[in-house]
A and B are shown apart, each in its own frame.
Chain A
Amino acid sequence: MTTASVSASDVISPPDLEVVNMTKQFGSLVALDHVSMHLKPGTFHALLGENGAGKSTLVKCIMGFYQPTSGDVLVGKRSREIASPKDAHQYGIGMVYQHFTSVPAMTVAENLVLSRFDPSVMIRWQEERDRLQAFMDQAPFQVDLEVPVAQLAAGQKQKLEILKQLYLNSRILILDEPTSVLTPGEADEVLGLLRQEVTNGRLSVLMISHKFREVMTFTDEVTVLRKGKFAGHGLVKDLTIADLSSMMLGEAREPKIVDKVITTADRPVLEFTDIHANKDNGLPAVRGTSLTVYSGEIVGIAGVSGNGQRELVEVLSGQRSPTTGTVVVNGTPYGATRSEMFHNGVFSLPEEPLRNACVPHMSVAENMALRTFDRPPQSKGSFLRLGSIRQMANRLIQQFSVKTPTPETPISHLSGGNVQRAVLARELSSDQINLLIAANPCFGLDFSAVEFIHGQIVAARNRGVAVLLVSEDLDELLSLADRIVVMSDGEFVYESAIADADLSTIGQRMAGH
């Protein structure tokens, strides 16, 4: 990319994108039902809806991943056949996915070069480097070119994804929940810079989101989908959060949080001292952390992902051995064996529950019985009592509204939110529960699932359960926790009762200052 072509592209505004009457069926399932939307040139447009509302299907049809059953995509007022992401790229449309699509083992420079649809076989690194540097210098944000992507923090990776599209000269950016892995600070920075590009008329942005705050702050227009159908559209300046919420959920619904009752946090339940642990690659991840969690309180651990929270949670849940340090639960040393978990009432909601808390190919009922199958009434001697297991599963499925075709369905067939509900049901159904360790329990879940899980966590706390909540979502911590701790580079660098917590200090500590 030369400077000449950049200044030329400054003049041309991004193309107009319109979706007309689009329908997409997967077998008997209608994922999109006659949906239309219009992305005007040089605007920031939000696509709002709950999980399963059809937002992703719509953008995947625009990008050529799926072929719509009927309906048209108009780019620059003309109907276009988009058969693959390559075609979409030709019309200047680029997409940033919810999950990172850079190759972790390659450097930023390699990823950028690779992303280009370019027939040349050989790569002259000398020239490429100069060109990439020139591109980076005039880009809205910078990422070091020579660093392998695996070593980038989440925010940096997300920036790289966006840079990649800018590098490809995309004039219409489609962002699929771009901030779900970012801290609020990072999210504001990235969206703010994109907002600037849009205001300058260099880009149009279509952003899938279910965060009202971002929609209200950064976007011009919003289109709302509900259950695959068009549910509303408007200029953001004319709408309130209540309007958006009612369009998205069907009826106006106030976010309800179970009220916290006053508990006396006096009995220490979880105490760990001087925990050190290594990452998978043998480098230190947790460097000497100590904390006590009392009964009836929620202690939140905030921090940008990759600062040792994952390893700390793995140590506490027995998935990783600490290099030094002790964990004490209810006054006795705790090694996270199955019997210790049972006797001390330790339960956990790990992140990525399908990977960390489920056996994916086993059924929902079997997964729900993982804590209890080896003791009566679910087993008798060495034999399982399947009837009792199924009975409990049915009860939990109903109580926690897990959407599953049958209790016998493999749990990996469920959506993310329902897997999380199933695990939550298993972990919170016991009356012996004493300590709950939760890590990013609401990652990637929709509005109603988040509300449900938050309610359950607070309800557990109100019953006197000690809760350790590790989360990358600061808003979540601020609304749930009684005490907040900030983890940065493997150490606890800030601790405060929630009432005295100072947001700007927390932000600085999270950023390592």
Chain B
Amino acid sequence: MASEALGWLGVPLAIAAGTMRGGTPFLFVSLGECLTEKSGKINLGLEGTLLTGAMSAYAVSYLTRDSLGPMLAPFAGVLVAGLAGMVLGFIHGWLCQQPRVNDVAVGIAMIIFGSGVAFFFGKPFIQPSAPLLPTIDLLAWTDLPEQFQSAVKISPLFVLGVAIAPLMTWFFRSTRWGLFIRAVGDSPDAALAMGVSIFKVRMLSIVAGSFLAGIGGASLSLYYPGVWTELVSSGQGLMAVALVIFARWQPMQCLWASLLFGGAQALGPALQSVGITQGYYLFNAAPYVLTLVIMVITCSPTRTMTGVPGALGSDR
């Protein structure tokens, strides 16, 4: 077998591949959350959005496989996943901006609602196999071992996510809309004095963020692991929220942090592939441990965080 031929070399290779595969959902959700939090509201509900996105992407890809063909159907799935995310985002955006409503509480409700929706409509799609997203095989022309080949199979979604990160940085810096979002997130009073509608800006930020999270869900079900089950997200939406804090609310940092988390996730399976089965569950827990470690490192009683949007977590 190829992995035996590669031996220990397979571990870094598998981690590199896993970084791309596992990092993609993190990347989309954290970019979405970054956009949302820049406007001053938290959307914990992205975990639910992720599941709804995964389910709707898979379902649409399966249902349209004949009418659109196996090449286009998954892309229709991605689009619908984004749209489904927007619907959930709209509900969150409206609810959490009502007077005396707390965005964290709404977010938790939205996790339950989003996963409920996904499980309810997703039941019939657990068994059938839908056409998955095609990948770009960079080394298809060589005769390198299969494991090399699979390591450099790049999903178009990953490329898209990597492109969005610098685009978002530019958006926050050099567009009027980006400045409005930062103003609303940092100092709602200042934004109000400029005649900016806080409600609209936050609503659009939350809806756009949820669109990205929905696409993150599509990458789970149509790229990696490429199935639809109720366990497919395993808390990645919530981890992505922690990741935004780790990334100091900067889109480019979100990219690096997502890759780090993706890599951590690949650690367990990679070690398993070279025959280390002891502590398998421990290695699988790497992303969770990483979340905890980051939380411990970043919180300090004597310092406040830098980069945190001023209105985040307040009632304004």
Contact = CB atoms under 8 A, between A and B. Distances in A.
Interface in B192-206: 193-195
Interface in A261-281: 278, 280-281
B176 to A, nearest CB: 6
B309 interface: yes
A110 interface: yes
A281 B186 contact: no
A102 B303 CA distance: 24
B302 A105 contact: no
B304 A281 contact: yes
B174 A103 contact: no
Contacts of B190: 100-103
A103 B307 CA distance: 13
Interface stretch (B177-185, B219-227, B285-293): B177-185
Given A85-B193, A86-B195, A101-B190, A114 B306 contact: no
B303 A280 contact: yes
Contact of B195 (A84, A100, A110): A84
A120 interface: yes
A123 B177 CA distance: 10
Interface in A64-107: 84-86, 97, 99-106
Contacts of A123: 174-176, 179
A499 interface: no
Contacts of A114: 176, 179-180, 183, 194
Interface string A122-148: 111100000000000000000000000
Nearest to A115: B194
B302 A278 contact: yes
Contacts of B309: 105
A431 interface: no
Contacts of A29: none
Interface string B149-179: 0000000000000000000000001111101
A302 B310 CA distance: 29
B284 to A, nearest CB: 36
A339 to B, nearest CB: 23
B186 A103 contact: yes
Interface of B (DSSP majority class): helix
A288 B165 CA distance: 45
A122 B182 contact: no
B189 interface: yes
A215 to B, nearest CB: 25
- Is the interface on chain B under 10, 10 to 19, 20 to 34, or 35 or more residues? 20 to 34
Contacts of A281: 303-304, 306
B195 A117 contact: yes
Interface string B5-49: 000000000000000000000000000000000000000000000
A174 B150 CA distance: 67
B3 interface: no
- Most chain-A Cβ atoms within 10 A of its Cβ — which of B173, B175, B193? B193
B187 interface: yes
B186 A110 contact: no
B187 A104 contact: yes
Nearest to B178: A123
Nearest to B303: A282
B182 A103 contact: yes
A281 to B, nearest CB: 6
- Is the interface on chain A under 10, 10 to 19, 20 to 34, or 35 or more residues? 20 to 34
A281 B307 CA distance: 11
A101 B193 contact: yes
- Most chain-A Cβ atoms within 10 A of its Cβ — which of B180, B182, B183? B183
A105 B186 contact: yes
A259 interface: no
Interface string B32-72: 00000000000000000000000000000000000000000
Contacts of A282: 302-303
B297 to A, nearest CB: 15
Interface string A394-428: 00000000000000000000000000000000000
B167 to A, nearest CB: 13
Nearest to A124: B174
B189 A99 contact: yes
Contacts of A110: 179
B186 A104 contact: yes
Contact of A106 (B174, B177, B186): B186
Nearest to B300: A282
A475 interface: no
A282 B306 CA distance: 11
Contact of B187 (A103, A117, A280): A103
Contacts of A251: none
B5 to A, nearest CB: 52
Contact of B304 (A97, A106, A124, A280): A280
A105 B309 CA distance: 8
Contact of A97 (B193, B306, B310): B193
B179 A113 contact: yes
A104 B177 CA distance: 18
B190 to A, nearest CB: 4
Interface string A276-307: 00101110000000000000000000000000
A111 B105 CA distance: 33
Contact of B175 (A85, A104, A106, A122): A122
A9 B181 CA distance: 33
Contacts of B182: 103, 105-106
Nearest to B189: A101
Nearest to A110: B179
A84 B194 CA distance: 10
Nearest to A86: B195
A123 B173 CA distance: 8
A118 interface: yes
Contact of B310 (A85, A101, A104, A118): A104
A121 interface: yes
Nearest to A64: B195
Contacts of B173: 125
A104 B182 CA distance: 10
Contacts of B307: 105
Contacts of A122: 174-176
B195 A85 contact: yes
Interface string A300-319: 00000000000000000000
Nearest to B174: A123
A122 B187 CA distance: 22
A377 to B, nearest CB: 36
A282 B190 CA distance: 27
A139 to B, nearest CB: 20
A103 B194 CA distance: 11
Contacts of A101: 187, 189-190, 193-194
A114 B191 CA distance: 9
Given A114-B179, A121-B177, A122-B176, 13 more contacts: A101-B193, A102-B187, A103-B186, A103-B187, A105-B182, A106-B183, A106-B186, A110-B179, A123-B179, A125-B174, A281-B303, A282-B302, A282-B303
30 contacts: A86-B195, A97-B193, A99-B189, A101-B189, A102-B190, A103-B186, A103-B187, A103-B190, A105-B182, A105-B309, A106-B182, A106-B183, A113-B179, A114-B179, A114-B183, A115-B194, A118-B176, A121-B176, A122-B175, A122-B176, A123-B174, A123-B175, A124-B174, A125-B173, A280-B303, A281-B304, A281-B306, A282-B302, A282-B303, A321-B302
Q: Which 6 A-B pairs have the closest CB atoms?
A: A101-B193, A280-B304, A282-B303, A101-B190, A105-B186, A103-B183
